[in-house]
């Protein structure tokens, strides 16, 4: 079920961003966002399973994970001030959605994954370059400290 795979992406985002609630000691907001997502999941499951069976549960799960990820990203961005491009985020989500769609049509997974990797690298080239530069700088500082000992 590719839509569940896509749902897990948003679950991962909500879990990662949700850890900031612990750091910021905002456990009530973590509980509230979890409650909202659970309520959405229960309501959508109740309504959709009646009409479309198991796909109702899949869609309910997807929607609840999407909502919790969105709420937490917006909320934590206000508190911490993440410096991320919403447009690039949407591009990355579109690439992932395309992969899920292509794999569900039984297109060769290796071609899909390879193509997605190239597109991800192109979209995120500057960010990847910055991470590599910071990593090299960090390693150099560790080596310099070790040599000074």
Q: What is the pLDDT along the chain (149 residues), one digit of tens a residue?
A: 677 777 888 888 888 888 888 778 778 888 898 899 999 999 999 999 999 988 888 889 889 998 998 888 888 777 776 666 778 888 888 888 888 888 777 888 899 889 989 999 998 898 888 888 888 888 888 888 777 77
DSSP letters along 47-111, please? HHHHHHTHHHHHHHHHHHHHHHHHHHHHHHHHHH-----HHHHHHHHHHHHHHHHHHHTT--HHH
Tokens matching residue 99: 């992969």
Strand (E) or helix (H) holding 40: helix 27-52
Q: Terminal CA-to-CA distance of the chain, rounded, Å? A: 55
pLDDT at residue 73, rounded to an integer: 84
Sign of the dihedral defined by the CA atoms of residues 21, 73, 49, 96, in that order: negative
pLDDT at residue 82, rounded to an integer: 67
pLDDT at residue 47, rounded to an integer: 93
96 vs 106: CA distance, rounded Å: 15
13 vs 7: CA distance, rounded Å: 10
Q: Are 92 and 124 in contact (CB under 8 A)?
A: yes
pLDDT at residue 1, rounded to an integer: 63
pLDDT at residue 130, rounded to an integer: 86
């Amino acid at each position: 079920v590719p839509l569940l795979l896509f749902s897990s992406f948003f679950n991962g985002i909500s879990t990662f961003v949700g850890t900031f609630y612990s750091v910021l000691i905002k456990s009530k907001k973590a509980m509230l966002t979890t409650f909202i997502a659970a309520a959405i999941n229960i309501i959508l499951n109740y309504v959709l399973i009646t009409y479309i069976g198991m796909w109702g549960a899949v869609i309910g799960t997807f929607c609840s994970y999407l909502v919790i990820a969105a709420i937490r990203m917006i909320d934590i961005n206000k508190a911490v001030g993440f410096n991320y491009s919403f447009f690039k985020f949407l591009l990355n989500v579109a690439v992932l959605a395309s992969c899920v769609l292509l794999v569900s049509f039984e297109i060769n997974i290796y071609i899909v994954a390879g193509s997605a990797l190239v597109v991800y690298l192109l979209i995120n080239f500057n960010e990847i370059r910055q991470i590599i530069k910071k990593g090299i700088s960090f390693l150099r500082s560790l080596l310099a400290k070790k040599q000074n000992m």
